[in-house]
Amino acid sequence: MDDIHLFLAHAVRLEAEAARRFEELADAMHTFGNAEVEAFFRQMATYSREHLAEAQTRSGFRPLPALAPDEYSWPDGTSPETAAWAGVDGLMSVADALQLALQSEQAGREFYAVIAAGSRNPRVKSMANEFAAEEAEHVSALERLIERCAA
């Protein structure tokens, strides 16, 4: 992916979806009475929205192209739809919620990493690398929380 605005349009879509999922997961944790995981998910939703705003700012406030569903070109397995999102209705436990969040963040990290590796545009490459590093931090934070919750 070499067009910076096309890349940013994908990033905005990915982060908006991530924020929506984290809000949904946080609400589910509220229902489960798990305040720690709820707070964590709310924080992750905030990060996603910050990331979204950053992507919009990086576009120089030039309106990003509004893409039809078939105009997105997600590398294999990285579409926000492909992270086996059963939705919170299918949630059986806090552990399930954490796994769902982990899969979603891993798909995000993968998306940015694949773009960074494949792009011929140095701006896209460096921005995607930066975003991949942030997603990698989210993945580690989730892994630490999963370990803590399992202990």
By CB under 5 A, is residue 13 in contact with Zn ion? Answer: no
CA dist 26 and 41 (Å) reads: 5
Task: With contacts defined by CB under 5 A, name the span among 59-67, 84-92, 119-127, 134-142 that binds Zn ion.
Answer: 134-142
Nearer to Zn ion, 71 or 81 (CB): 81
- Of 2-10, 90-98, 102-110, 121-129: span binding Zn ion (CB under 5 A): 102-110
Q: Half-sphere exposure (CA, 13 Å, Cβ side) for 97?
A: 26
Residue nearest to Zn ion (CB): 138
Dist CA 8 CA 115 (whole Å): 11
**Least distance (Å) between residue 109 CB and Zn ion:** 8
CB of 70 to Zn ion, least distance (A): 25
Q: How far apart are CA 126 and CA 116, in angstroms?
A: 7
Q: How far apart are CA 16 and CA 64, in angstroms?
A: 14
138 binds Zn ion (CB under 5 A): yes
What is the token pair recorded at 74? 């997600």
Give least dist CB 88 to Zn ion, A.
Answer: 18
* By CB under 5 A, residue 10 contacts Zn ion: no
Q: What single-letter DSSP state applies at residue 34? A: -
Residues at the contact surface with Zn ion, assessed by CB under 5 A: 105, 135, 138
